[in-house]
């Protein structure tokens, strides 16, 4: 990845997906969710004090995700358990496949069972769903939004499935939305003039940063693009701005792109469509020249991949 600013995976992971390591940012996020899950278990109950072996089995095919989080869970709370992985992060898994083996005291395996299955099931569900979106429209980048249930863990699962994380938090990118323009509007100022002024007031030091501006129609898109080009010409810093085309029809998106091309502005913009798009409508966007589609449907309301754990007494 890395060809558009929507790929922020380098802020989550350093190195290869199997032999690399989570960044401090990602570790902090993991720890927060893991701590909450373990706390909700209220001790996890009792169980036998014998050595056992458990197997996590996949009951349907998909894209596997969640290995770094489970490793972190083991390290923080269940260090006496040993996990043997039979799959790699991002690999395709099939029905009946044994994902991992876990060896330890039966009581500890029973405590970790539901947490582990929830993590792997939910994250693999997201990565599997994301892969379906990516394969449905391969010529357009598919990205998440900031609407998440498990924060950066959702973002990681989208990345593993082949999608783009988009911005990781409010401070990760400068996103100017309708409410930002409304809050910045001066008394007596026309809304369209507010848009141009706010773009012009963007700090010159942020010009090469990830900047996204939400627009609602053709007129707003043109004002943002014109204001942006004037700004970068003055600063002599060439950079693209992302126009977030929010809940705009395909026909209007085509009109916007055509108008930007006509005014020699298109090359300074990345077009991102969002709102009201689902996997079944993706094919209709193939006839546009947008670079990105973003949707919370990649990770929200997605059924978890069906996994189960089977426990056996470990032979001496």
In a domain, 1, yes or no: no
| Under 8 Å between Cβ of 211 and 172 | no
Q: Is the pLDDT of residue 13 over 50?
A: yes
What is the average per-residue pLDDT within 133-142?
A: 96
User: For 135, what's the count of Cα atoms within 13 Å in the CB-facing half-sphere?
Assistant: 8
pLDDT at 122 (0 to 100): 98
Q: For the segment 140-195, what is each residue's pLDDT rounded down to a tens digit? A: 999 999 899 999 999 999 999 999 999 999 889 899 999 999 999 999 999 999 99
Whether residue 166 is found in the same domain as residue 274: yes
pLDDT at 313 (0 to 100): 61
Whether residue 105 is found in the same domain as residue 187: no
Whether residue 170 is found in the same domain as residue 147: yes
pLDDT at 1 (0 to 100): 43
In a domain, 245, yes or no: yes
| Under 8 Å between Cβ of 67 and 85 | yes
In a domain, 209, yes or no: yes
**What CATH code is carried by the domain that includes residue 210?**
3.20.20.70
Whether residue 17 is found in the same domain as residue 121: yes
Question: In 3D, which of 89, 74, 92 has the Cα closest to residue 157?
Answer: 89
CA pair distance 37, 117, nearest whole angstrom:
12
What is the average per-residue pLDDT within 211-234?
A: 94
Residue with tokens 């090359």: 267
Whether residue 292 is found in the same domain as residue 309: no
CA pair distance 213, 195, nearest whole angstrom:
10
Residue span of the structural domain in which 264 resides: 139-298
| Under 8 Å between Cβ of 109 and 52 | yes
Reported pTM: 0.93
Whether residue 29 is found in the same domain as residue 54: yes
How many residues make up the chain in this entry?
A: 316
Whether residue 14 is found in the same domain as residue 113: yes
Helix (H, G, I), strand (E, B) or coil at 27: helix
| 3 burial level (CB within 10 Å; 0-12, 13-18, 19+) | exposed
What is the average per-residue pLDDT within 10-17?
A: 94
Whether residue 149 is found in the same domain as residue 96: no
Name, in order, each residue with C-beta under 8 angstroms of 78's C-beta and a sequence gap of 6 or more.
Answer: 104, 108, 111, 112
pLDDT at 315 (0 to 100): 44
Q: Is the pLDDT of residue 58 over 60?
A: yes
In the predicted model, what is the mean pLDDT of the chain? 93
Residues facing residue 105 across a β-bridge: 51
Whether residue 30 is found in the same domain as residue 147: no
| Under 8 Å between Cβ of 102 and 71 | no
Whether residue 252 is found in the same domain as residue 168: yes
pLDDT at 8 (0 to 100): 95
Q: Is the pLDDT of residue 312 over 50?
A: yes
In a domain, 2, yes or no: no
Question: In 3D, which of 21, 308, 279 has the Cα closest to residue 161?
Answer: 279
Q: How many domains does the chain have?
A: 2
Please give the backbone phi and psi of residue 142, each rounded to the nearest 5 degrees, phi first: -110, 125
pLDDT at 43 (0 to 100): 76
Whether residue 186 is found in the same domain as residue 249: yes
**What CATH code is carried by the domain that includes residue 308?**
3.90.1170.20
Q: Is the pLDDT of residue 40 over 50?
A: yes
- pLDDT category at 235 given cuts 50, 70, 90 is confident
Q: Is the pLDDT of residue 241 over 90?
A: yes
Whether residue 119 is found in the same domain as residue 197: no
Q: For the segment 263-308, what is each residue's pLDDT rounded down to a tens digit? A: 999 999 999 999 999 999 999 999 999 999 999 999 999 999 999 9
Report the alpha-carbon angle 288-266-234, nearest 5. 160
pLDDT at 316 (0 to 100): 34
């Amino acid at each position: 990845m890395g060809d558009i600013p929507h790929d922020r995976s380098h802020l989550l992971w350093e190195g290869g997906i199997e032999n690399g390591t989570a960044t401090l940012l990602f570790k902090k996020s993991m720890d927060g969710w893991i701590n909450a899950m373990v706390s909700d278990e209220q001790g996890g109950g009792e169980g036998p004090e014998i050595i056992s072996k458990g197997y996590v089995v996949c009951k349907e095919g998909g894209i596997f995700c969640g290995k770094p989080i489970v490793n972190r869970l083991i390290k923080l709370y269940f260090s006496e358990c040993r996990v043997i992985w039979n799959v790699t992060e991002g690999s395709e898994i099939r029905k009946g496949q044994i994902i991992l083996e876990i060896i330890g005291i039966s009581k500890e395996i029973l405590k970790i069972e539901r947490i582990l299955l929830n993590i792997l099931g939910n994250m693999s569900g997201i990565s599997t769903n994301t892969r379906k979106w990516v394969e449905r429209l391969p010529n357009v980048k598919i990205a998440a939004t900031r609407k998440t249930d498990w924060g950066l863990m959702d973002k990681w699962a989208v990345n593993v499935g082949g999608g783009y994380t988009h911005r990781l938090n409010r401070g990760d990118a400068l996103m100017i939305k309708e409410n930002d323009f409304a809050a910045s509007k001066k008394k007596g100022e026309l809304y369209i003039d507010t848009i141009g002024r706010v773009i012009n007031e963007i700090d010159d030091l942020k010009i090469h940063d990830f900047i996204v501006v939400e627009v609602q129609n053709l007129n707003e898109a043109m004002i943002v693009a014109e204001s942006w080009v004037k700004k970068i010409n003055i600063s002599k810093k060439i950079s693209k701005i992302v126009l977030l085309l929010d809940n705009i029809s395909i026909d209007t998106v085509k009109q916007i792109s055509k108008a930007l091309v006509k005014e020699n502005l298109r090359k300074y913009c990345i077009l991102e469509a969002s709102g009201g798009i689902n996997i079944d409508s993706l094919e209709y966007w193939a006839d546009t020249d947008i670079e990105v589609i973003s949707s919370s449907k990649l990770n929200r309301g997605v059924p978890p991949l069906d996994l189960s754990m089977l426990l056996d007494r470990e032979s001496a």
